[in-house]
A and B are shown apart, each in its own frame.
Chain A
Amino acid sequence: DTGVSQNPRHKITKRGQNVTFRCDPISEHNRLYWYRQTLGQGPEFLTYFQNEAQLEKSRLLSDRFSAERPKGSFSTLEIQRTEQGDSAMYLCASSPPAGGKDTQYFGPGTRLTVL
């Protein structure tokens, strides 16, 4: 069990550029979650997958955000035309398929800075 990994750990970009983050969950965890954490706040839910199906998207996830999980393994989160308000820590978590009672295991996060 190597834990949840996220790449890159840090990303600095200019406003208007596109960025993509990757999350590799714990193997055999079929649920994968994305959260966003801004300074001084707790993480906020963005979206989650069960296998390759995206089951829920938060209203925080504007049309500029898209997430995929091809083949139910790793996931990518893309932000198009980045804005300064997108600067945040993007956290990925995974869990086994036993519903809300399961522990979600978090990765170290990707810190995005939009200049």
Chain B
Amino acid sequence: AQSVTQLDSQVPVFEEAPVELRCNYSSSVSVYLFWYVQYPNQGLQLLLKYLSGSTLVKGINGFEAEFNKSQTSFHLRKPSVHISDTAEYFCAVNSPGGTSYGKLTFGQGTILTVHP
């Protein structure tokens, strides 16, 4: 079975400050990792994904994440946030095979609030 833990339920930060949203996963097989963002009253939008290769992944809106296999982590970072980044962020895991094939397992979400 797979699981995802997002270590912070809420992260407040001031505009133009850096931010890191933490994600740890558990899986007995190799994984694909995703970060999605959900704005109020909207569906989930993909920010970035790790499939293989370089462990540093760059996504939309200036976000990036680093896959760390030894620490089973996939933390999301942005060097300078904007008010418009205020949203809920979800880390998710999928697998290329096994019983979890084809479905995403999500963390509980982290609400990022950017203050002026």
Please give the number of chain B residues whose Cβ is less than 8 angstroms from any Cβ of chain A in the complex. 28
Known A99-B96, A99-B102: A40·B108 in contact at CB below 8 Å: yes
- Across the interface, which residues of B come within 8 angstroms of A107, CB to CB? 43
Q: Mark A27-64, 1 if CB is under 8 A from B, else 0.
A: 00001010100001111110010100001100000000
- Across the interface, which residues of B come within 8 angstroms of A103, CB to CB? 34, 46, 49
- Distance to closest chain B CB from A40 (angstroms): 7
Q: Is A4 an interface residue (CB 8 A)?
A: yes
Q: Is A85 an interface residue (CB 8 A)?
A: no
Query: Whole-angstrom distance between the alpha carbons of A77 and B6 in the complex?
Result: 29
The one of A55, A91, A100, A101 that contacts B43, using a Cβ cutoff of 8 Å: A91
Asked if A101 and B51 sit within 8 Å, CB to CB, the answer is: yes
- Distance to closest chain A CB from B69 (angstroms): 17
Q: How many A-B residue pairs have CB under 8 A?
A: 65
Please provide the chain A residues from 42 to 101 with a CB less than 8 Å away from any CB of chain B in the complex: 42-45, 48, 50, 55-56, 91, 93, 99-101
Closest to B101 in A: A100
Query: Whole-angstrom distance between the alpha carbons of A44 and B103 in the complex?
Result: 9
Asked if A42 and B43 sit within 8 Å, CB to CB, the answer is: no
- Across the interface, which residues of B come within 8 angstroms of A50, CB to CB? 102
Known A41-B109, A103-B49: A56·B43 in contact at CB below 8 Å: no
Q: Is B106 an interface residue (CB 8 A)?
A: yes
Query: Whole-angstrom distance between the alpha carbons of A33 and B49 in the complex?
Result: 18
Q: List 10 A-B contacts (CB under 8 A).
A: A4-B43, A31-B102, A42-B90, A42-B107, A43-B44, A45-B105, A56-B102, A101-B96, A103-B34, A106-B36
Point out residues on A near B: beta carbons under 8 Å.
4, 31, 33, 35, 40-45, 48, 50, 55-56, 91, 93, 99-101, 103-109
